[in-house]
Structure 1
Amino acid sequence: MRLKTLLLAAALPLSALAAANTTAPDPATALLAELEQGRFAQAHARFNPAMAQAVSSPALTQLWQQLAQSLGALQRIEPDQTRQVEGNDVSTHLLHFQHGTVRATTAVDKAGHISGFHLAPVASAAAAPPADAPFTETALQVVAGPGPLGATLSLPKGPGPFPAVVLVHGSGPQDRDESVGPNKPFADIAHGLAAQGIAVLRYDKRSQARPQDFAQGASLALETTDDAIAAVALLKAQPGIDAGKVYVLGHSQGGMLASHIAKAGQAAGAILFAAPARPILDLLREQNVYLLAQSPQITAEAAKAHLDQLDAQIAALRSDKTAELPQLPGLTGAYWQELEAVDVIGQTRDAGLPTLLLQGGRDFQVVDADWNRLQAGLQGERFSFHHYPTLNHLGIAGNGPGTLAEYQQPGKVDAGLINDIAHWIHAQ
C-alpha cells in the first residue's frame, strides 16, 4: 500500500498520458520555482478554483516539506517533456533531490492556471543477478486485458521442476520490483527465493505500465486481479515449473486479494504480506493522522483543516459512486466501495488453501489492529503466522517508529522473512 494524500497531490485523470509535444508552459516552471523557494502561498495562488479546493495551501506546503524531509535537498530541476491532454498543457520535470528523483507532472488550463499537479518517484530497474547466481532471469509478458505487461521470471538453475510464486503489488502504480525510493522489495524477494530453489514471477502493474487502460474508470479486476490470475497461468506454463506448486504472494492491498487470486487461478496456496483487514479508507485516515503527528512544522490548525477535508472526502466516496478523492484522480467512489467490500478474512477462509501470513511490527500503514483481526479470524492448521517486530511495511528492518524518510534509506527485505517463505513453500 502506498501512502495516499500526504504523498500525492493531483487532479489529472489516469487517461492523461501520451500526446504531441508543445512549448513548455511557463506557469509549470514558475510553480516549481516557487515551491523550491518556499513561497507556498504564491504557488497555491496559481491553482484554478477546482484544484485550489481539492488541495489546500497547507496541504501543498505539507506535501513539499515532507518530500524534502524524505529525499533531502532539491539539487536541480530538469525539464522532461510537454504535451497536450484534454485541452491542458501538460509538462513533466525531473526533480533531482539528494536521495532520489521525482517526476513532477503539471497541467495548465487555457487560462494559464494550474489544473493538475502530480508527484511520483522515478525508479531504476533492479540490477541483473551476477553470472554466478544460482538462478537466471528471463523477460516475459503477462498477456491480459487491454494490453500486455512486462515481467521477469527468476528461475533456479538445475533440472527442476521448481515450486513457484507470483508476486502481486500493493496499491498505486507499481513497477515489477515494487520500487519505493531506492528499495526494491519484490526484487529482493524474487532473488532470495530463487536462490533457495523457488521460481518467482514479478510483473509491472497495469496502473504503472499502461495507465491509459483506465480511461473509462478503474476496478479491482482491471487494476489487479485479472492480471494476477493471468500471471499465475503464465507461470504454470513455463518449462521447469511444477504447475501444481504455484503460489500467490500479495503485498499490502495485493495481500487483501491474494486468496481470491489464488483460488481463481487454481494456485496451491496464498501468502499475505502486510495485508489490511479493516476498511481501507479507515487506514487512509490513520496514516494521515500518524504522519501529521510526525510533522511538527504543520500547525494544529492546518492539521485539523486537512483531516476535516479528508473526512468529508471519505464520506463522499462511501456514499457517492461518482465522487473522487482529488489527490488520487480517476479512482471514483465506485472503486473505493468495491475495495472496502473486500472481506479478506472471509475470502481467505473460504479459499480453502494453505495460507502464510506475514506482518512487520514497525509498519505504520498496516498495523497491529489488522494483524490481530487476521489472527482471530483465521484459525486452523492450514494458517501459519509470522510477526517481525523490527520490520516496516516493506519488510526492511529498522529502529524506532516507522517514518516516510525511512523509505528513502536503502535497505533489503529481511532475510529471515524470505527464509520463512521458502521454508513454508518447501513444506507444502
Structure 2
Amino acid sequence: MRLRPAFFAIALAAFSSGTLAAEPQQVATQLLDHLQAGRMAEAEAMFTPQMATAVPAGKLQGLWQSLGELKQRGTAHSSEQQGVHVVEVPLQFASGAVIAQVAVDAQDRIAGLMLRPAPPPKASPPAAGADYSETDFSVPQARGALPGTLALPRGKGPFPAVLLVHGSGPQDRDETIGGSRPFLDIARGLAAQGIAVLRYDKRTFARPQDFQSGTFTVDDETTDDAVAALTALAANPRIDGGRVFVLGHSQGGMLAPRIASRWPQARGAILWAAPARTLLELLPEQNRYLLSLDGDISATEQAFLDKLDAQIAAARGSAPVAASELPLGVPQTFWKSIEAINARADAQALHKPLLMLHGGRDFQVPDADWQLWKQALDDDKDVQWQTYPALNHIGVAGSGPSSLQEYSKAGHVDATLIADVARWVEAQR
C-alpha cells in the first residue's frame, strides 16, 4: 500500500455542506498568516472542532516547523468540492516546494488542511536520438477510455511488453509522487533496453466521476482496467502478444497475480514493493512509524492511532458505515473487496514466472512483508528475488530512515532495479 501522495496530511475532516463563504481565499490567507508568524493558537481557533481535536496547536507547530523557513507564497486558486471550497496555495519552503490545500466550510472554518509536494516540472519528451519513442495510447473500457502512453523501442519488433499498474489512490500515468515519477523512469528505462511499456492514468485520477455513486470495489478501481489495458496492449502489431508482463507497484504489486490470472495470456508478473498482508493491517504500522520518527508518540497522536483502529474495525464490520468515518475516506465496499484478497495465495496459484523486488528502506511495505512472501514462494523455482538495501518505497536511493518528506525531493528509480527487470523479462522466452 502506498500512502496518499502527500507531504503530510494535517487533517481531512468530514466536509459539511451548506452556503459557502464569500471569500474562502481570504480565510486560507489568514490561516497561512498565522502559521507563518508562529501564531498557532490563533490558527487552531480557525479550525472546526474535528480539526482542533485532531491537530492541537502544539502538533501543528511541530509539523509546520519541520518544513523550515517559508520563503515565498504563490497565487491562490479555489474550487468547490463536495460543497466545500478548497483553496490551493503554492508555498516555497527551505525544504522544498509544496501545495497547501485548505478546505473552508460554510462558517469560514478550516475543515481540512493538507500540505503535499508540488508536482515536478512537466517531463521533457524523449531526446531526438533516444533508442525509443512514445505515442499516445487509449485504454478502451466500457465505463470510459483511459489515456495512456506507450513507449516503444526503435525497430520493427514485435517487442516484449510490460504493463505498469499503480499503487493506491488517484495516480497519473507516471505515478507522480512528490518530486519523482517512478513509472516514467521505468517506462523509458525499459524501452531503451528493447522492452515496450504501457502506462496509463488510473481511473480515480482520469475519471473521478465514475465513482460518484460512493460504492466501488478494488476491481472497479484497478483490476478491470488493468485487464483491459493488457488486452489492448497485446493487440498492438508491434507487441509480441506471447510475452506481455504485468508490473505492479505497491497495491498494484499485491494485485498483479490477480490481474495476471484474469488475463491468462500474461507471461508473468513483477511484484514491486508489494504488500503480503492486507492494507488495513499495514495502515496502523505505517502511521505509527511516521508518528514515532521524532522519538515519541504524544497523547494526541495516540488518540489519532486509536481512532484509526476504530475506523479499521468499522471497515471490517458488518454494519454499514459512511466513507467519511473509514480509513482514508474510502467506502466500505472497497475495503471489503480488498480485504478479501489473499495476495500470497493468488501468487502461489498463478504458476507463472514472478520477479519480486523490495527496497530495504521501504517503511510502507516493510521487511516483514518481504519475509512473508519468501515463506510463501521460496520453494517455487519460477520466482526470482531482488533486494536493494538503499532504496525506499518508490525505488529512490537514500540513507537513514525513510519518511514522507523524502518523497518531496526529486529522485529517480535506481538504474540497477530497471536493469534487473529488463534482464528478467528478456530471459522469459
TM-score if structure 2 supplies the norm length?
0.88
| Partner SS state of residue 79, structure 1 | coil
- The alpha-carbon distance between structure 1 residues 234 and 423, as it changes in their structure 2 partners (threshold 3 A), is same
Match of 1:406 in 2: 406
Which residue number corresponds to residue 274 of structure 1? Answer: 273
Change (3 A) 1:93 1:209: farther
Aligned to 1:313, the other structure's residue is in SS state helix
Q: Counterpart amino acid of 1:358?
A: L
- After TM superposition, list the pairs within 5 Å mapping 1:271-310 onto structure 2: 271-296=270-295, 300-310=298-308
Displacement of 1:60 in angstroms is: 4.5
Structure 1 pair 175–375 and aligned structure 2 pair: CA distance change class (3 A): same
| Range with bigger deviation, 102-111 or 387-396 | 102-111
Distance 1:109 1:211, change over 3 A: same
Equivalent residue for 1:101?
A: 97
Q: Using the alignment, how far apart are the partners of 1:371 and 1:358 within structure 2?
A: 9
Post-superposition shift, 1:385?
1.3
Say which of 96, 109, 112 aligns to 1:113.
109
Distance 1:204 1:302, change over 3 A: same
Give 1:198 deviation, angstroms: 0.3
Q: State how far apart, in whole Å, the 2-side matches of 1:111 and 1:385 are.
A: 55
Tell me, in whole angstroms, the C-alpha distance in 1 between the residues paired with 2:137 and 2:7. 35
Name which of structure 1's ranges 190-199 and 327-336 shifts more when overlaid on structure 2: 327-336
Contact map agreement 1:145 1:227 (CA 8 A) in 2: no
Q: What aligned pairs does 1:150-229 form with structure 2 within 5 A after superposition?
A: 150-217=147-214, 218-229=216-227
Aligned match of 1:365: 364
1:142 aligns with 2:143: no
Q: Report how far residue 59 of structure 1 moved.
A: 5.6
Q: Which moved more, 1:111-120 or 1:221-230?
A: 111-120
- The answer to whether the Cα contact below 8 Å between 1:252 and 1:275 also exists between their aligned partners in 2 is yes
Q: Does 1:92 align with 2:91?
A: no
Q: Distance in 1 between matches of 2:32 and 2:291?
A: 24
Aligned counterparts of 1:36 and 1:214: Cα–Cα separation in 2: 37
- Equivalent residue number for residue 122 of structure 1: 118
1:173 and 1:207 in contact (8 A); partners too: yes
Question: Contact conserved, 2:161 with 2:196, CA < 8 A, in 1?
Answer: yes
1:314 to 308, 312, 315: 312
Q: CA deviation at 1:313?
A: 2.6
1:252 paired to 2:250: yes
> Hey, what's the Cα distance between the residues in 2 that align with 1:327 and 1:97?
32
Query: Could you say which residue in structure 2 is the equivalent of 1:388?
Result: 388
CA RMSD of aligned residues (A): 2.8
Residue 7 of structure 2 contacts residue 115 of structure 2 at CA under 8 Å; is this kept in 1? no
Identical counterparts, % of pairs:
49
Q: Quick one: distance in 1 between partners of 2:252 and 2:320?
A: 23
- Contact 2:8–2:114 (CA<8 Å) still a contact in 1? no
Over 3 Å counting, the alpha-carbon distance change for 1:279 and 1:58 in structure 2 is farther
SS in 2 for 1:283: helix
Structure 2 distance, partners of 1:211, 1:119, is 21
Do 2:21 and 2:107's aligned partners in 1 also have CA atoms closer than 8 Å? no
Count of residues in Structure 1 that have an aligned counterpart in Structure 2: 418
TM-score, normalised via structure 1 length: 0.88
Q: In 2 relative to 1, CA 62–283 (structure 1 residues): closer, same or farther, beyond 3 Å?
A: farther
